[in-house]
């Protein structure tokens, strides 16, 4: 019993010593805090987009330090929070925040540490699906994207294109940015580009370094079909911040979307993370957004939605508005398609050899650009005039137009060649059958053998004719 008692006493003493040791490690010293404040001040003066505000913030920090304000904070977490509060009391910049580094095993400023940090970032991005949290088609053929962040375009473009592809045939779209804290301006630019078919100046970023301004315009091409006319709605909240606010502001000022929800967080100054010490970092805004229409931004005031709702009502209200917009969009699209098809039929019915070919090409181009017809539809239309209506001249004009619209399709040249052969123009038919075979070989087309047989057939006819 005495031995057990001695062992128990020894264990208790060891535990107390361990706890004291851990507490001592977690307790930060006055010297540590002073050096951190001085480094934070240097970083602000060197990089903050507004130098005069940085100086005022430094004076405030040093005054608080000398007054003993930071004495009460004894660990990194509470100290970082206190520093964030102090700097924001002066600059009111919600982007500028002091954070505690995640616990890493490797020493700072080593290749192992950089690898550890990179792997941690990759894992967090993978788990978060690069911000694309949920995409689905709601009742009323309304596309819905719950986007939690704007990840870097170099990593997340495939995810963006996949989400947009799922919603490509919807009649209205909702971007839910109510839980989106921002991210890459390149991804903002990319997703905005899906909703414009013309070059539009979306936003500019002024950078203190180099005293330069970077303009962001819509991209001419994206990885899917553009939707310039589809009604767009954006759900916002006070958690909508930074890049998510830019997307909302871009669309609002361009009158391209309706915003529903609450006023956003109010952070318009982009920047980057800087190291204070081994344990602390700070995000320093090094630039500011400049909207080309308002000549200002949403810093400190947020983006105010057109339709104000509570957090609980935002989704239902937005879906209701989107369903109504989708109905109107379908009606307008039907009217538009009816007129386009009527114009095309008029061109076909009033065909004049040598004159109507270009008019038919123009009509088919317009229908295809509007999404009314595709390659296969045009091909079927050509056969309809060739076989059913017995109007080979019109059929040839349709098939020819399809080769111009789809020059990398073996099938369209094969169809055009068939119409030429039936008209007796074997030389032109041979040329187009050969074109079909060449394209099929290059594309490794599964119908290559079929195209080769058609080519041999017309060659045989030509040989028989010469004999």
- pLDDT at residue number 287: 95
Angle at 449 between CA 444 and CA 451, to 5 degrees: 90
| pLDDT (tens digit per residue) in 73-83 | 999 999 999 99
| pLDDT (tens digit per residue) in 309-350 | 999 999 999 999 999 999 999 999 999 999 999 999 999 999
Q: 66 or 106, which is more confident?
A: 66
Asked whether residue 449 carries a pLDDT value surpassing 90, the answer given is yes
CB of 171 within 8 A of CB of 232?
Answer: no
Asked whether residue 354 carries a pLDDT value surpassing 90, the answer given is no
413 half-sphere exposure, CB direction, 13 A CA radius: 25
Instruction: Fold for 350-466, please state it.
Output: 1.25.40
Average model confidence (pLDDT) for the chain?
90
- pLDDT at residue number 320: 98
In 3D space, the residue among 126, 271, 116, 136 whose CA is nearest the CA of residue 207 turns out to be 271
| pLDDT (tens digit per residue) in 235-266 | 999 999 999 999 999 999 999 999 999 999 99
Instruction: Fold for 120-325, please state it.
Output: 2-enoyl-CoA Hydratase; Chain A, domain 1 (3.90.226)
- pLDDT at residue number 15: 40
Domain range list for the chain: 19-92, 120-325, 350-466
Strands 142-147, 172-176: pairing kind: parallel
3 half-sphere exposure, CB direction, 13 A CA radius: 0
Q: 263 or 104, which is more confident?
A: 263
| pLDDT (tens digit per residue) in 194-238 | 999 999 999 999 999 999 999 999 999 999 999 999 999 999 999
* One-letter-per-residue 3-state SS of the chain: CHHHHHHHHHHHHHHHHHHHHHHHHHCCCHHHHHHHHHHHHHHHHHHCCCHHHHHHHHHHHHHHHHCCHHHHCCCHHHHHHHHHHHHHHHHCCCCCCEEECCCCCCCCCCHHHHHHHHHHHHHHHHHCHHHEEEEEEECCCEEEEEECCECCHHHHHHHHHHHHHHCCCCCEEEEECCCCCCECHHHHHHHHHCCCCCCCEEEEEEECHHHEEEEEECCCCCCCCCCCCCCEEEEECCCCCCHHHHHHHHHHHCCCCEEEECCCCCCCCCEEEEECCCCEEEEEECEEEECCCCCCCCCCCCCCCCEECCHHHHHHHHHHHHHHHHHHHHHHHHHHHHHHHHHHHHHHHCCCCCCHHHHHHHHHHHHHHCCCCCHHHHHHHHHHHHHHCCCHHHHHHHHHHHHHHCCCCHHHHHHHHHHHHHCCCHHHHHHHHHHHHHHHHHHCCCCHHHHHHHHHHHHHHHHHHHC
- pLDDT at residue number 9: 44
| pLDDT (tens digit per residue) in 266-283 | 999 999 999 999 899 999
pTM of the model: 0.77
| pLDDT (tens digit per residue) in 140-190 | 999 999 999 999 999 899 999 999 999 999 999 999 999 999 999 999 999
Asked whether residue 39 carries a pLDDT value surpassing 90, the answer given is yes
**For residue 271, what are the CA distances in angstroms to 19, 250, 256?**
40, 19, 27
Asked whether residue 24 carries a pLDDT value surpassing 70, the answer given is no
């Amino acid at each position: 019993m005495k031995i057990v008692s001695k062992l128990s006493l020894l264990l208790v003493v060891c535990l107390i010593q361990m706890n004291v040791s851990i507490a001592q490690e977690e307790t930060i010293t006055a010297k540590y805090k002073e050096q951190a404040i001085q480094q934070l001040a240097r970083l602000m003066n060197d990089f903050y987009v507004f130098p005069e505000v940085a100086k005022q913030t430094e004076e405030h920090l040093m005054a608080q330090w000398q007054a003993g304000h930071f004495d009460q904070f004894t660990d990194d977490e509470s100290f970082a929070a206190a520093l964030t509060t102090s700097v924001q009391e002066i600059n009111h910049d919600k982007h500028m925040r002091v954070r505690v580094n995640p616990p890493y095993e490797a020493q700072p400023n080593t290749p192992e540490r950089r690898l550890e940090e990179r792997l941690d970032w990759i894992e967090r991005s993978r788990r978060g699906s690069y911000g694309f949290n949920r995409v689905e088609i709601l009742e009323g053929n309304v596309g819905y994207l719950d986007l939690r962040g704007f990840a870097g375009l170099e990593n997340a473009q495939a995810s963006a294109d996949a989400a947009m592809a799922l919603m490509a045939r919807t009649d209205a779209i909702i971007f839910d940015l109510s839980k989106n804290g921002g991210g890459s301006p390149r991804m903002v630019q990319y997703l905005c580009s899906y909703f414009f078919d013309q070059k539009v100046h979306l936003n500019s970023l002024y950078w203190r370094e180099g005293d330069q301004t970077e303009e962001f315009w819509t991209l001419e091409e994206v990885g899917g079909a553009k939707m310039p006319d589809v009604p767009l709605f954006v759900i916002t909240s006070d958690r909508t911040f930074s890049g998510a606010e830019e997307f909302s502001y871009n669309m609002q000022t361009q009158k391209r979307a309706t915003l529903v929800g609450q006023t956003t967080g109010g952070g318009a100054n982009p920047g980057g993370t800087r190291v204070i010490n081994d344990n602390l970092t700070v995000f320093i805004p090094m630039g500011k957004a400049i909207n080309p229409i308002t000549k200002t931004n949403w810093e400190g005031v947020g983006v105010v939605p057109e339709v104000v709702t509570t957090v609980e009502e935002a989704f239902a209200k937005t879906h209701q508005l989107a369903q109504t917009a989708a109905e109107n969009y379908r009606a307008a699209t039907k009217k538009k398609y009816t007129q386009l098809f009527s114009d095309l039929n008029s061109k076909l019915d009033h065909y004049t050899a040598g004159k109507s070919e270009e008019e038919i090409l123009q009509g088919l181009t317009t229908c295809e650009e509007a999404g009314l017809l595709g390659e296969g539809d045009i091909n079927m239309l050509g056969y309809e005039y060739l076989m059913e209506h017995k109007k080979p001249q019109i059929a040839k004009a349709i098939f020819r137009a399809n080769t111009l619209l789809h020059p990398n399709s073996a099938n369209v040249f094969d169809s055009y060649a068939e119409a030429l052969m039936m008209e007796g123009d074997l030389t032109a038919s041979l040329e187009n059958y050969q074109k079909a075979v060449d394209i099929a070989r290059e594309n490794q087309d599964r119908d290559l053998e079929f195209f080769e047989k058609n080519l041999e057939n017309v060659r045989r006819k030509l040989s028989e004719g010469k004999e």
